[in-house]
Each structure stands twice: as structure tokens, then as C-alpha cells.
Amino acid sequence: MKKSGDKINSKISDAADISKPWDKDNQAWWDWYVGLADNDKKKDPIINAEPLPNVAIPTDDEVVSELTEVYPLKNEQIDFFRKNGFIKLKKVFSPGVVLKLRAELIKLLKKEFDVDPDKEAHDRFLSLEMTWPKNELLRSYVLSPRLGQISADLLGVSAVRLYHDNVLAKQAGCGRTPWHFDDHHFPLDTNDVVTAWVPAQPTPVEMGPLSFAYPLDVHKIVNAVTFEKTGTGYDRGVSEIFRKNGVTVNETPFELGEVSFHHNLNFHTASRNRTNRSRIALANTYFRDGARVINSPTMVSGDWQKFMPNVKPGEVAASPLNPICWPIDVK
């Protein structure tokens, strides 16, 4: 599928001009981006999250074995995704594999930010990226043939590459993630792009799970809203146009092991984390093999060159950091 040509409405003003490339790091990008969310001034009290289940934790080899197995999709699941731009699939990971992932991600967050994500960091959105090149365990999750196979099947393509991985930690009390779609985040000349969002704990509504507007083509009505790089006007504008048009939003809990997949044109958001546990997720983005970098990436694409080193605009996005995740190389 080629780019549809739908872009953020870009009236040229200082607030709307996003043409300059991003010149800061990944965490600074997220600090800026979540600041665009429209939050209620009155905050509900923080509640205690349910204890994590006590389950057997697999070995590293057992993780690799599980994440190499195919996850068969039904035709109606594929049809649902293509119509609505998202799908939530249960039991993609076993409970032990999820909790092993959570422990590893907490260890990395502690090392990077010098805080315990569940005890010391509040009201902030923490992020790590490109964890897999230096971490063998996370490599198993990010380059998982199972996630690659599901992504390829949903998109209807023969092969997918990794764009990047993101560790996303919404701390206790952290506010909303603004309404957005990912099309302008990924500077690729294709709409065959999907993100697997893997919550690293059971995620009730009070924790702020990812929520999806549907059907997929609701992104077309948002073209009337001008994106602004400061303030909350864009987020409020999208919310208002969705209300006026009666757009349906799926905001439901995630069971342990449940994973969502959303298309790059799907509009999504996440509510405030009203629990005392950090809502941690691993988000891996995969795209059709053969896609190229667009000619003019913007600041909304962040530091995309970090994800595709030495790949220039117009070139095929196939750096060593964009390996094929499906099909499996059987050599």
C-alpha cells in the first residue's frame, strides 16, 4: 500500500511549522510530545494496582522458543484489522514471558534514569529506544518471528523489517498521551506499517491502556485539524471532531499476554495512569520490506536517522538495524 497522501493540515505558521528536523534526543522528544495532551485540571486520586500474578518465569531459551512459534490468525481477525486499523490478540505471550520482559525493562529503566519506575518516578513518561542491539534477551522480543509473522499477515505482505523498538513507561499519575496517528512519525513511503504494543503487566483501564478510534478511515476527518507543535489545540481539536462525528473508541483492559497491533493510520491515545504501578510497554514497529525513506522527514519523525543509520532520504530503508523479522531465515 502506498502513502495515501493524507497529511497533517499544515497552515504555515510558527506553531504549525514542523519542517525542521528534530535536534534533541528521544526522551526530549517524548517530553515534548506528551506535553501536547489536553488533561483535566482535576486529577482523580491514585489507586493501588492489583498484585502481579505469581507465575513461573521461563529461561532465556524458553523465551526464544515461544517467540519463534507461529501465531495463526483467523480470516475474520485479519479483516477486522484492515477495516478498523487495530486488533487486540490474547495469549500472544505466556504470562511468564511477559513478566520476564517487565523485569528486564525495569532494570534498563533504573539504569538509564536512576529511579525505580514503580516507586520513585511520578507524573512522567519515560522512554528508551533501540534496546535490542545490546541486549540479547530483548533481541528475542523485538526481533520475534511471532510478532513479525502476525504483522506481515495483518498487512498482507510477504516480508517485514523492524523500524525500531520503544520502551514506554507511563509513571503513576502521568497524564494522557495525545490523540495521534503514526504516519508522520515514521518517514517511510508506505502505509504498510504496524506497531505491536506489548504491555508488560495486566493493564486495567485505570492504568491508561492504549485506546483506538475506529474504523480506520476516521483519520480522513482529522485533516481539517491543524497540527501545532506547542499547546494542546491539536489534541482538543481531534477530540472535538471525534465527538461531533460519533467516532467509536475502544478503551478496554489488556490481559496479561494480550498484545495490540495498530496500523500507522489508526488514531489512538491513552488515558492518565491512575494507579501506583508504572504502565510499561514494549512497542515494536514493523514495515513492508522494500519501503524507502521519504524525501523530507520532519521533527515529528524524531531522530529517525538513529533507527536507519546511513540511509538517506529516497533510499531503501534496509540498514543493519532494520533486519527482516519475517519470514525466518532458515539458512
Are 209 and 251 in contact by the 8 Å Cβ rule? The answer is yes
Question: Is 238 within the bounds of a domain?
Answer: yes
Say yes or no to pLDDT of 331 above 70: no
Quick check: is 1 in a domain?
no
SS3 103: helix
Span 231-253, average pLDDT: 95
Over residues 135-146, the pLDDT tens digits come to 999 999 999 999
Which sign does the torsion angle of CA 16, 19, 22, 23 carry?
Answer: negative
94: in domain: yes
Q: Which residues lie below 8 Å from residue 5, measured CB to CB, with a gap of 6+?
A: none
Residue 45 lies in a domain: no
Residue type, 10: S
Whether 129 maps to a domain, the answer reads yes
Per the structure, the complete domain to which residue 236 belongs is given by 26-40+54-322
- Rounded to two decimals, the pTM is 0.92
* CATH number of the domain residue 246 falls in: 2.60.120.620
Asked if residue 7 belongs to a domain, the reply is no
DSSP state of 304: G
Residue 69 resides in a domain:
yes
Coil/strand/helix, residue 199: strand
* Nearest-10 crossing angle of helices 145-155, 60-68: 20
Give CA separation, 38 vs 4, 85, 259, in Å. 28, 24, 26
* Cis peptide leading into residue 323 (ω within 30°): no
Higher pLDDT, 290 or 20: 290
pLDDT of residue 298: 82
Q: What total number of domains does the chain contain?
A: 1
Lowest mean pLDDT among 2-16, 194-208, 251-265, 270-284: 2-16
Does 153 have pLDDT greater than 70? yes
Reply yes or no on whether the pLDDT at 7 is more than 80: no
The verdict on residue 219 lying in a domain is yes
Per-residue pLDDT at 4 exceeds 50: no
Query: Is the preceding omega at residue 327 within 30 degrees of 0, hence cis?
Result: yes
Q: Spell out a b/e string for 104-129, using b for 16 or more CB atoms within 10 Å of the CB, else e.
A: bbbebbeeebebebbeebeebbbbbb
